[in-house]
Chain A
Amino acid sequence: MRRTVAVRQVAAVNRFGVTGLAVAVLVLALVATACTGGAPSGQGGAGGEPKGVIRIGAAGPYTGDLSKIGLDSLNAIRMAVEEANQAGGVDGYRIEVEVGDDAGDAAQATLVAQKFAADPTIVGVIGPMNSNCVNAALPIYEKAGLVIISQSATNPALTEQGYRVMFRVCPRDDAQGPAAARFIVEELKARKVYMIDDKGTYGQGLADQVEIALKELGATVTRGQIAPTDRDFSAILTRVRQEAPDLVYLALPNPAQAAALLIQARSMKIQTKFMGGDGLKEKDQLIAGSQGAAEGFYVTAIGRDVREVPEAAGFVKAFEAKHGAMSIFSGQSYEATNILIAALRKAGVKDGKVDRAAVRDAVAATSGYRGILGFPVSFDSKGDVLGGSIYVLQVKGPDFVEVKAYPIGGK
């Protein structure tokens, strides 16, 4: 059946001969140019017809078990870019977002990095979001001189290796660790802590930092691990019940997983305090998703919730009107994108091109940037963010309530 069709097509080509083919190619070419030529004018930027296009990469977990957090970040990145385009883009050039999905997986993150590095029109990257992905992709970005601003990779080691292209707008775990430990020991008076992590770079890194700080303060720590895809926690919770700790610390990046764990802990009659890191500070999945089991749960947060920052009110309103309740890293994604765009404007477009090295230097020179995070953003020589505090919050009813603040660096 299929063969006869093919034969007929060949016959048709023969009948029209070479002229037929040439006409077909011409028509195709016309359609193609019409498509590419038509698209930008449809966007309707304030500066009229854009002179051209420059692109930034967005690397993050847009599929897989972290896709909710990833997609909420991508939406924030796109929002920042749309707003910048409405304000004339960069020197009249329109900014486009190139999406690179790493699914939170280090191997995929390197593929995304190679793709971005090889594309000369990409002049800066927001992400990757997961520490393990940054860790794997960083050498590739460094070699290409392509600046990356991560909105959420908190592993301390990332900026300790001398790479020049790495920046982040989130404080490091070693700022979060001591704050969490001080709160556990000084405020909650807990002496015996059980820690659960998911073997990931983020979870294990955070757990290590908290453990070191806890031991310095004289608490005893028992560690347990689960896998990122686990949803049955009966085994580890049976161990927790056996140990009877004063507090269980969840070093997990996925609030949905933590919510399931909290519900199952309640159903096994485990009545102890629970605490977690910044990754779990997510209303929709942790509080609503846990059917009340998260009541009283403590989290440390790197920086203040953008919903509570007056400067961010406009962003929050616009984002939530379009995409619904936002996740923890949406605000930081928006801020990181705006910092990158500001740097692009400073570096400027020359002969239709943007110099990657100039963009990197402009990002590094960011000083006292007043965006929506509620503190002036600068970077130190390693690329770590300066300013801000670590906050401890507690779930009360449908919301997180601030209970304590520790300034970063104020050990």
Chain B
Amino acid sequence: MSFFAQVPQQIVNGISLGSVYGLIAIGYSMVYGTLGMLNFAHGEVFMVGAFGGWLAMGLLLPFLSGPTLLLPVTVAASLTAAVVGVATERFAYRPLRRAPRLAPLIAALGVSMFLQNAVMLATGGRAKTYLTSAIVSPDAGVMLGGTFISFLRLMVVAVAALLMLVLDYLVRHTYTGKAMRAVAEDPEAAAWTGVSVNRVVAAAFLLGSLLAGVGGVMVGLLYSQVDFYMGFSAGMKAFTACVLGGIGNLPGAMVGGVVLGLLESLGVAFVSPVYRDVIAFSLLILTLVLRPQGILGRARGQRA
């Protein structure tokens, strides 16, 4: 009986966690859509963004507090992540654009290790505390029956949903978005019609990294802590979300994230929480075996 009593709470946990997975997954999906490559350094971009937000928070705390602090912190995190993401593309992946598929994958692992160790050295390996309470008190919220819905979790879901809508607009209606979809369809043909493939790829990295930076702040606020190690598991979860939703498909990444978050949270209501990752990665394997095109499938949604 007590298991079922926790279900509503685990749904709340799952949706908020899942929307963060979704934010990170979009970056994976975009890069895969335009380049056909798996950017395994994306988790580290997210981690660097989280630290960018942490730095900004430390600098701004004497001047600002409350929800007004959220915007500059998020912007700082996004910009930090974007600089790192775009630089990675320019210096690590672009020179390998025509190399065999394995080369950029290995470069991605190298970038990932480089970023992890750089941040470890810069922070002395210490976890850094996000002063969540300076933005929104973590124990503020509404109690519905036995389920506690904190404003913090509501805020995380709202931010993710808002960004998803903005992104959808960008991809559907702007020139860059259309060019991105064209490159995803066929890079060569897109180049012939005058699309600059380099700029489109850079734009994909830029947008993906911006979202990862926002995700970094959200995770920092939710978990109240960031460390140099957080990118790895977050990256793997985002990758799983991506595959689950249909890799290359943007709404799919978001849907995949929320589904993964929900299944993880509900799963651990019934088995020990140590099996959280087992659930996530079993899901990855099952998806790859049974429905490789993912929930939304590549054919129906747009790749970009």
Enumerate chain A interface residues (CB-CB to B < 8 A). Answer: 63-65, 67-68, 71, 199, 224-227, 229-232, 234-236, 238-239, 241-243, 256, 259-260, 263-264, 266-269, 284-285, 288-291
Contacts and interface: CB of A to CB of B under 8 A. Distances in A.
B230 interface: yes
B224 A225 contact: no
Contacts of B225: 231, 256, 259-260, 263, 289
State the 6 A-B residue pairs at the shortest beta-carbon distance, nearest first: A267-B138, A67-B125, A256-B127, A234-B13, A235-B268, A263-B224
B90 interface: no
A320 to B, nearest CB: 14
B169 interface: no
B302 to A, nearest CB: 32
Given A68-B126, A242-B6, 4 more contacts: A64-B229, A259-B224, A264-B224, A289-B127
Interface string B130-161: 01110000110001000010101000000000
A110 B70 CA distance: 46
Contact of A234 (B125, B131, B143, B265): B265
6 contacts: A63-B125, A225-B272, A227-B274, A229-B233, A259-B127, A263-B138
Contact of A226 (B2, B227, B274): B274
Nearest to B272: A225
Interface in B5-31: 5-6, 9-10, 13, 17
Given A232-B222, A256-B225, A266 B139 contact: yes
Contact of B120 (A67, A266, A267, A269): A67
B293 to A, nearest CB: 29
Interface in B257-283: 264-265, 268-269, 272-274, 276-277
B129 A288 contact: yes
B102 to A, nearest CB: 20
Interface SS majority for chain B: helix
A294 B111 CA distance: 37
B124 A68 contact: yes
Contacts of B175: none
Interface of B: 2, 5-6, 9-10, 13, 17, 117, 120, 124-127, 129, 131-133, 138-139, 143, 148, 150, 152, 219, 222-225, 227, 229-230, 232-233, 264-265, 268-269, 272-274, 276-277
Contact of B265 (A63, A64, A229, A235): A235
Contacts of B2: 242-243
Nearest to B232: A229
Given A227-B276, A256-B225, A232 B127 contact: no
Contacts of B148: 268-269
Among B148, B264, B274, B277, the one with the most A-chain Cβ atoms within 10 Å of its Cβ is: B274
A313 to B, nearest CB: 25
B276 to A, nearest CB: 7
Nearest to B265: A235
A162 B44 CA distance: 45
A374 B277 CA distance: 44
A67 to B, nearest CB: 4
A358 to B, nearest CB: 37
A178 B208 CA distance: 52
A359 B120 CA distance: 36
B285 to A, nearest CB: 19
B273 A285 contact: no
A71 B129 CA distance: 20
B44 to A, nearest CB: 15
Contacts of B124: 68, 71
A228 B146 CA distance: 29
A285 B125 contact: no
B23 to A, nearest CB: 15
B127 A230 contact: no
Contacts of B152: 267
Nearest to A327: B126
Contacts of B129: 259, 288-291
B143 to A, nearest CB: 8
B148 to A, nearest CB: 6
A260 B224 contact: yes
A235 B133 CA distance: 21
A194 to B, nearest CB: 13
B139 A238 contact: no
Contacts of A67: 120, 125
A67 B121 CA distance: 10
A242 B224 contact: no
A68 B125 contact: yes
A235 B224 contact: no
A68 B127 CA distance: 9
A235 B12 CA distance: 10
Given A266-B139, A267-B150, A269-B148, A239 B223 contact: no
Contacts of B230: 231
B175 to A, nearest CB: 37
A229 B143 CA distance: 30
Given A256-B225, A285-B127, A232 B150 contact: no
Contacts of A229: 229, 232-233
Contact of A231 (B13, B223, B277): B223
Contacts of A63: 117, 120, 125
Contacts of B269: 235, 238-239
Given A232-B17, A238-B6, A226 B273 contact: yes
Nearest to A223: B272
A224 B272 contact: yes
A242 B269 CA distance: 11
A242 B120 contact: no
Given A64-B229, A264-B223, A268-B148, A224 B127 contact: no
Nearest to A289: B129
Contact of A239 (B6, B131, B222): B6
Among A68, A263, A267, A289, the one with the most B-chain Cβ atoms within 10 Å of its Cβ is: A267
A232 B260 CA distance: 14
Nearest to B230: A231
B274 A234 contact: no
Given A67-B125, A236-B273, A256-B126, A269 B10 contact: no
